[in-house]
Structure 1
C-alpha cells in the first residue's frame, strides 16, 4: 500500500527537470460529463495527453502504470462554496471565531482545512470570504501555489462586502472586528472592490441581503443600482460578482445586476429561476449548511420532521432544476467540517438530482461557471487533476467519499490504491 505523498513542487508556475508519465487503467472513467467503461488515461507531467479506448493510446516506453481495478477515475472535484478560515459552529460559534480566535490560530486551522479538502479529492475550491480574517486567504492561496503547504487550487474573495450596519458580530460595546468589509454607494463600493482586488481577490462577493430587517428578519441590503455598479467595477478587471442571497427581493436585485452566481437562494421562486436561466446566472444551493445548522440546534435527521428552512431548500432546489438553472456544487463548508465536502453531493442526490448530474456539477459545470477552462474534464490538453474512487458513483453516489488516489497538476498527492 502506498500512502500520502507530499510532492508539491509541480504547480502552475514551477517547473521540474525530470519528466513523469502515468498510465491509469480504471474500470471506468467519468470525463466530466459522460461515464465511459474500459478507458485508459495517459498523463505526462502536469497535462492529460490522452484519454479513451486503449487501442487509441500510444503508451510511451517509460511510464508508471497504475491499475485501478474496481475504481472510477474522475476529474479533481471543485468545491464551489467554502470558508477555510471557519470551522463548524457546534465547535465554536461564528461570533466567537471572529472575536476571540487569534489570526495565528485561524491561519493554522486554515492550513489544516486546506489539506483535508485536497485529501478528500477536491483539487480546486472557491473560498468565499475569510469572515474576519482580512486578506489571509490570498496569502493561503500563495502558500499553496508555492508548494509550501498542500491544498486545493484556490479562487479567493478575501473579506467580502456588506452594507454598513447589516453584518455581525453585533450586540457588543465599542469597536469590534466585523466578518466582512462595510461599503456603500458609488464611491464606497468602488473603493472597497478595488482595494480587495489589490489585496488579491479573484472574485468579489457581496451580501445582497442579511438578517437585519425588523425583528432580525432577512431583508435586502444593497440597492439594484449598487449591485450593478459592483458588477461593472469588478468586470472591468475581468472578475465576476457572487452574491449571498436568501430573500426574494435580494435575489431579484442580484439577477437584475447580472451577477455570476447566487449563493443559497432560499428566496427563489419559479419566476426568479426562470430569469436566472435566461441570464445564465448559476445557483450554489448549499444544502449541507442548512441541514448542519439545524442539527446544531437539535434537529435529528431521519427522526425529527424537517424544519421550515430544510423544506424550503427542497423546494428551491427542485424549482431551480425544473427551470433549467445551472446548479453548482458547493456546500458552504466551514459551517460543517472541511474534508467532508462531498456530503453536499450526497444531499444533492437525496434532494432529487441524478448522480451523473451531480458529478457533472462538481467538475465540468463548476469549472465552466468559475472560469477554469482547463479543469473539470478528462480530455487531452487539460490539467492533470484526477481522483480515483472505489466503486461506481453513478450507481452509489456515496462512493465519492471513498477516495483512493488524488493527483494535482500531475503530481500524486494521495495513493492508497494498493
Structure 2
C-alpha cells in the first residue's frame, strides 16, 4: 500500500509540473557564462530553466513567448556578501537601525531589498549577518521559498559572533544595557552559540576575526586561533562552514589556520596571506563594492 501511495504522489507531482506553462524567453543577446550569442533564448517552466540554445531549436507549440528586445540574457548572478536587513547609513545610521528601528520595520525593508536584489539579476545571496535582527533572515528566506514574497535564494548566517567587548553599538553610559549588533561569545561558550544558531536553521556561521576595537579605533584581531577553530569544528559536525570577517593580516592568518571557509573583506591581504589561503583551501570574498558604498552612504 505504501508503494501505491508513493506512485500516486509521483504521478500527481508530475501532473502538476506538466500544467505549468512553458515560457520561451528571447533577447537580442544571450551570455551563457562563457560566450555571447545572438539568436538564442531559454525555455523556463516554473522555477527551472529547461533548455538554452538557438531559438529555432526551442520553439514549440503552446509556448508563451517573452521577447526582451534589445537586452542581454545572462545567468543569475550570486551576491557573495549581503546584509538585506540593513539600509544605507545616510538614511539611518547603523546605531539607529540596531537600536531604534523596530524588527517589523527592518523586515519590511528587507522584503523590498530582496525583491530589488532579484530584479537586479542576483538570484542567490549569502546574507552574512542580521546586525541586531536575530534570525529574521531565516524567516525572510522561508517566505521567499514559500512564494509569499519575491526574492533570491538565500544562504543565511543569522546573527554573527563577536568577541566580548569588540563590537557595537558603543559610546553609552556604563550602566546602560545596550543591545549589540551581533552575539558576544568567548571560549567554550562558542560551542553553545554555534549549536544554538544551527538549531535556528543557519546555513553558515559568521565570526569576526578582527574588528575596530584598538585604542585609536584601528582594526585588531579579536578571537584567538583556538576559539575560531572551536567554532569551525563544532559547525563542521553539523555540516556547516564558518566564514570570517577579517581585514587585518593577523586576523586573516588566524582564521585561515583555524579552518574557515572564506575570508570576508581581506583589506590587508598580501602574498603570505594568499599562500596560506591556497595551502588551506580558503576562498576570498573581497567585497569590492563595499568601500564605494560606505563612501556614498556613510551618512
Same fold (TM > 0.5): yes
1:290 maps to 291
1:149 maps to 149
Give structure 2 stretches of 5+ with no counterpart.
Answer: 1-15
- TM-superposed CA distance for 1:129, in Å, is 0.7
Helix, strand or coil: the match of 2:28? strand
- TM-superposed CA distance for 1:134, in Å, is 0.9
Helix, strand or coil: the match of 2:276? helix
2:185 maps to 183
Counterpart mapping for 1:40-189 below 5 A: 40-54=41-55, 57=57, 59-173=59-173, 174-185=176-187, 187-189=188-190
1:212 to 2:213 alignment: yes
- 1:277/1:32 CA distance change after superposition, 3 Å: farther
- TM-superposed CA distance for 1:201, in Å, is 0.8
- 1:230/1:26 CA distance change after superposition, 3 Å: same
1:201 maps to 202
- 1:297/1:115 CA distance change after superposition, 3 Å: closer
Number of residue-to-residue matches in the alignment? 282
- 1:17/1:29 CA distance change after superposition, 3 Å: closer
1:386 maps to none
Q: Distance in 2 between matches of 1:296 and 1:54?
A: 43
- TM-superposed CA distance for 1:164, in Å, is 0.9
Q: Distance in 1 between matches of 2:28 and 2:281?
A: 36
Root-mean-square deviation (CA, aligned residues, Å) is 2.0
- TM-superposed CA distance for 1:135, in Å, is 1.0
So what's the TM-score if we normalise by structure 1? 0.64
Q: Distance in 2 between matches of 1:98 and 1:177?
A: 8
- TM-superposed CA distance for 1:48, in Å, is 2.1
Helix, strand or coil: the match of 2:23? strand
Compare CA radii of gyration and give the structure with the larger one: 2
- 1:296/1:115 CA distance change after superposition, 3 Å: closer
Q: Distance in 2 between matches of 1:94 and 1:273?
A: 32
- 1:70/1:251 CA distance change after superposition, 3 Å: same
CA contact (8 A) 2:89 2:298 kept: no
Q: Which has the higher contact order (CA 8 A, sep 6+)?
A: 1
- 1:48/1:112 CA distance change after superposition, 3 Å: closer
- TM-superposed CA distance for 1:89, in Å, is 0.8
CA contact (8 A) 2:88 2:298 kept: no
Q: Distance in 2 between matches of 1:215 and 1:66?
A: 57
Q: Distance in 1 between matches of 2:45 and 2:107?
A: 34
So what's the TM-score if we normalise by structure 2? 0.87
1:309 maps to none
